[in-house]
Structure 1
Amino acid sequence: MTFAGPHAEALTELARTRSAVSSAALLSSALHARRLLLLKALLVRVQRHRDGVDGAAYRRFGAAWQLLERAERRRPDVVRDLLDYPTTGGWLAAALAEPVGPALDRHLARLDVLAVTAALRSGCPVNTTVDAPGGLLALPGVGRLRAGASRVRIRSDSRTGRVRPDVPGHAPPVVLLLTDPRTGALAGRGPGWSGLHVLSGSAARLDDMDPYRVPAGGIGSPPRGAEDHGTTDRAAWSARWESGLDLLHRTDPDRAGEVRRAVRALVPLVARGPGAFGATMSAAPGAVLTSLPAGAEDMAETLVHELHHSKMATLHELVPLYRPGRAAVHRVGWRADPRPIPGVMHGTYAHLALTDLWRRAAVAEGVPAAWRIRAGQQFDRIYDQVGEGLAILLESDELTSEGRKFARQMGRHHASLGAAPGATGSHCAHGT
């Protein structure tokens, strides 16, 4: 059975873990539509519970909404880029989950920062004051000011913004210059300013500054926290990114291109014990959260694995693949703990993408021999596990009609990969 309708080709391509123009456009549109829906939901919630929201917070939220609308009218593409940045999703998820009260009021202040960032990137003049919790002002996707004050004054014209602590005196401002009006790129200089590092060959940021890059309680079990800018070894992260992408490009240029386009943020996590730990947040597709991978192979695998969790999260919001609320759990080969159907679907999809990668690597020319051997071993270890995951999915009554079609297409691609091409040797563990 195949898909029907206008998205059929893109859905089939996605089930094969590949990315073409049609599938990339579908996921991009789905992500943006979701962000607009959640932003509107937050506005409705604030208005509905106006009596429970602090008066000053309510007024600032309304003013920030108007500024965001002004910036969007001026440069809708730039504002879309900002709204679709992963940490915007993390903020919306946190704000919508927070009960009405002081904690929600603090989350609402983030719209001030989002709107100011949109205005600066869109060349929209602004003159306002925003909160800087803990003396830090983080502009999403741009950088962070260590202000040393709880409020910050921002004034800008169409090309230049000036940011300074809102305290008596005449501290020199941080200057933010709109260097590319087409993309909304900003460059900053001045005391206390640190810009996000752009990873080479992509638009991805090494995001070690945004307060919404990791949930407040950490991620994973045991929970991992985010590395902070002051402790991040940017040279090491850049080297891992470059070597991982180079290996991907030599193994599978199309997949390397997908990583360059789709990964928006690489978020360093504090390491806990041996082996890298990678994760994604369903609310923040496009962000890869990971401790520092040991080498190029680990980085390549982490990027592919976590990107496919992002793709699955975005796709499921557009086309529900499974039904919520069921309690049944299932054993899968790559996890010690039993998984519910959503976990089986996500894990099977991510490991199918890795199996596709390893199948190609095992026969690729111009890649290190050690990578070919490792890839063949990993393929041999995971291939059957993916088949078992697919069997669980296809036997489940928790999948929707579209989810069953998607799983069948995954199964066809899995079958097409065939047996590992002559790889031998001991099996290597892969952290997930």
Structure 2
Amino acid sequence: MTTAPLSTADFAELARTGPAQVGMSALHTGLRGRRLLLLKALLVRVQRERESVDDAAARRFEAAWRLLEQAERAHPAVVRDVLDYPTTGAWLATALAAPVGQALDRRLDRLESIAVTAALRAGCPLDLTVATPTGTLSLTGAGRLHVGAERVRIRARARVVRIGPEGSRASCGALLLSHPRTGRLTGLGPAWTGLRALPGTVALLDDLDPYRVPPGGVGAPPRAATDRAATDAGAWSTRWRGAHQLLERVDPVRACEVRRVVRAVVPLSGGGQPPVPMSATLRAAPGAVLTSLPSSARAMAETLVHEIHHSKLAALHELVPLHRPGPSAVHRVGWRTDPRPIAGVLQGAYAHLALTDLWRRAAVAPRAPESWRSAAGQRFESFHDQVGGALEILLESDELTIAGREFTSQMKRHHASLGAVRRPRG
């Protein structure tokens, strides 16, 4: 079977939850192509519905598009990086779904901040004013500036950026510096709040971006994003560092995959007292893991592995459809109390297959903490059977495509290869 642009071998490796280098590159390329297609679709929509769009909002959108093109000519890799950032996809999905009127007009302004971020990172000389109706300028993947004004002036020269309220004679609200090679922005000034990097990786703890969580939150009951004031950066960094140390001991290849895939971790509210753990990914924002603060490094490691496999499967389905769209039957699976459609069964089976693989390794890894080895062996035995039952549901379904059936068959082969865990006696 051939699933171009994926080879048969890469397709099978992805089905076995493996971090296939070539396969992951193909998924990333496919996601980038889709992101550009959706961006162009939004431009076409604005042009087609121009008479219904607020004139000022349309003009700002068109100017932002030209600025984005200018930045791409100067530094295409930097522009791709900004467009690849997870919240860009979340914004695009929201803007494309917004009804004509104020809802769409408000969302079109986001392209202005995306284009400005790209231009600043690309080192383009600038002297322009942009709208900040909320009094805040958000720079994608960098941070935000509180200006307390409806328009802000941005002046950039020789990779030094000065930003302040339009017409103000006071000192600028922030001074940003753009790295000459990567274009990364670092800032100074009391009005500037930058995103914080998670240790040892390029991933960011994103507790600032206005599009990091959809309107209304995620999950049921819905969880809201926590803002900077409610985010304990030290606790997040400790969990993150500990999770990567555990993964390095148990499965260094998987640890490398997590570092490569995760671009942003979005803190979610705890959901009451005591806090109830919750994590999620958004199909429109691959590369972002939305989660409440995990209780331990082990819980963080398991959350990361679980959620990146939801992202991987969603990205693969965009490239190679695995199941047919439309209404479907619902099925019971071991890890949920509510019945799931076939798409949910496939997503759950894939993420839990990755976890059973991880738990099997942890249960026998001599460098894993004893507490994790014991818990991992128990969880492997429980979920191994549950995943097996879900795979049978999938293979009996007529809702999978040919590619989906082959993918599930490969999952079943890997599931069978995991066998049972032979834990040490005593």
Q: What TM-score comes out, normalization by structure 1 length? A: 0.95
Residue 408 of structure 2 aligns with which residue?
407
Distance across 2 between alignment mates of 1:215 and 1:22 = 32
Match of 2:403, SS state, is helix
Distance 1:136 1:423, change over 3 A: farther
Write the distance in 2 (CA, Å) between the matches of 1:133 and 1:238. 33
Asked if 1:325 corresponds to 2:326, the answer is yes
Per-residue deviation at 1:133?
A: 4.0
Q: Measure the CA separation in 2 of the matches of 1:97 and 1:40.
A: 14
Deviates more, 1:144-153 or 1:91-100: 144-153
Taking the TM superposition and a 5 Å limit, the aligned residue runs for 1:169-188 are 169-179=169-179, 181-188=180-187
**Mapped partners of 1:58, 1:211: distance in 2:** 21
Match of 1:255 in 2: 254
Listed one character per residue, the Cα deviations across residues 66-101 of structure 1 (whole Å, up to 9, x for unaligned) are 000010111111111110100000000000010111
SS in 1 for 2:152: strand
**Amino acid across the alignment from 1:188:** G
Contact (CA 8 Å) 1:116, 1:126: kept in 2 or not? no
Equivalence for 2:352: 351
Structure 1 residues 47-62: aligned runs within 5 Å? 47-62=47-62
- Partner amino acid, structure 2, of 1:131: A
Alignment of 1:37-48 (within 5 A): 37-48=37-48
Residue 339 (str. 1) matches residue 340 (str. 2): yes
Aligned residue for 1:203?
Answer: 202
Aligned-pair RMSD on alpha carbons? 1.4
Stretch deviating more after TM superposition (160-169 or 59-68):
160-169
Report if the CA contact (8 A) 2:173-2:192 is conserved. no
Tell me the distance in 2 between the aligned counterparts of 1:168 and 1:286. 39
Alignment match, 1:300:
301
AA of the residue aligned to 1:194 = T
**Conserved? CA contact 2:251–2:358, under 8 Å:** yes
CA contact (8 A) 1:373 1:424 kept: no
| Contact 1:149–1:167, Cα closer than 8 Å, also in 2 | no
Which residue is equivalent to 1:79?
79
Deviation (angstroms), 1:182: 2.1
Which stretch of the first structure deviates more once superposed, 185-194 or 212-221?
185-194
Partners in 1 of 2:302 and 2:224 — Cα distance? 22
List aligned pairs for 1:124-273, cutoff 5 A: 124-179=124-179, 181-273=180-272
Superposed CA deviations along residues 143-186 of structure 1, whole A, max 9, x for unmatched, are 1112222221111124111111225432333111112x222111
| Distance of 2:156 and 2:46 partners within structure 1 | 28
Rounded to whole Å, the distance in 1 between the matches of 2:268 and 2:306 is 16
Q: Distance in 2 between matches of 1:310 and 1:5?
A: 20
Q: What is the distance in 1 between the residues matched to 2:90 and 2:13?
A: 28
Amino acid at match of 1:292: L
> Counterpart amino acid of 2:126?
V
- One-letter amino acid of the counterpart of residue 361, structure 2: R
Distance 1:65 1:84 in 2: 16
CA contact (8 A) 2:3 2:11 kept: no
Per-residue deviation, 1:191: 2.1
Q: Is the 8 A contact 1:127 1:154 kept in 2?
A: yes
User: Take 1:28 and 1:336, find their aligned partners in 2: how far apart are those partners?
Assistant: 33
Contact conserved, 1:165 with 1:171, CA < 8 A, in 2?
no
Per-residue deviation, residues 213-244 of structure 1 (Å, max 9, x unmatched): 00011000000000001221100110010001
Counterpart residue number, 2:280: 279
Q: Does the 8 Å contact 1:376/1:423 carry over to 2?
A: no
SS in structure 2 opposite 1:230? helix
Partners of 2:364 and 2:423 within 8 A in 1: no
- Post-superposition CA distance 1:307-354 (Å, at most 9, x none): 111111111111111111123111110000101111111111000000
Give distance in 2, aligned partners of 1:275 and 1:326: 31
- 2:229 match: secondary structure: coil
Counterparts of 1:152 and 1:312, CA distance in 2: 41
State TM-score, norm by structure 2: 0.97
8 Å CA contact 1:10–1:26 kept in 2: the answer is no
**Change over 3 Å in CA distance of 1:6–1:218 after alignment to 2:** closer
Cα gap change, 1:407/1:186 in structure 2, threshold over 3 Å: closer, same or farther?
same
| Residues in 1 aligned to 2:82 and 2:208: alpha-carbon distance in whole angstroms | 16
Amino acid at match of 2:87: T
The runs of at least 4 consecutive aligned structure 1 residues that moved more than 6 Å come to none
d(CA) in 2 for partners of 1:389, 1:259: 25
Corresponding residue for residue 25 of structure 1: 25
Q: Aligned residue for 2:93?
A: 93
Contact preservation (8 Å) 1:9, 1:22? no
Mapped to 2, the partners of 1:106 and 1:145 lie a distance apart of 18
The range that moved more, 39-48 or 162-171, is: 162-171
Supply the distance in 2 between the matched residues of 1:244 and 1:151 (Cα, whole angstroms). 42
**Structure-2 residue corresponding to 1:391:** 392
Give the deviation of 1:125 after TM superposition: 1.5
Runs of 5+ consecutive residues of structure 1 not aligned to the other structure: 426-432
2:45 alignment partner, SS class: helix
CA apart distance, 1:422? 3.0
Alignment deviations for residues 359-411 of structure 1 (CA, whole Å, 9 cap, x no partner): 11111121110010011011011001111111111111111111111111111
C-alpha distance 421-150 of structure 1, shift in aligned 2 (>3 A) = farther
Q: Does 1:106 align with 2:106?
A: yes
- Structure 2 distance, partners of 1:223, 1:157, is 44
Q: Contact 1:160–1:175 at 8 Å: present in 2 too?
A: yes
Cα offsets for 1:23-64 (capped at 9, x unmatched): 221111011011001101101111110011001111111110
Whole-Å Cα distance in 2 between the matches of residues 413 and 229 of structure 1?
A: 42
CA distance in 1: counterparts of 2:108 and 2:191, whole angstroms: 25
- How far, CA to CA, are the matches of 1:178 and 1:57 in structure 2? 28
Where in structure 2 are there 5+ consecutive unaligned residues? Answer: none
Kindly indicate whether the alpha-carbon contact (under 8 Å) linking 2:165 and 2:172 is maintained by their aligned counterparts in 1.
no
**Does the 8 Å CA contact 1:3/1:405 hold for their aligned counterparts?**
no
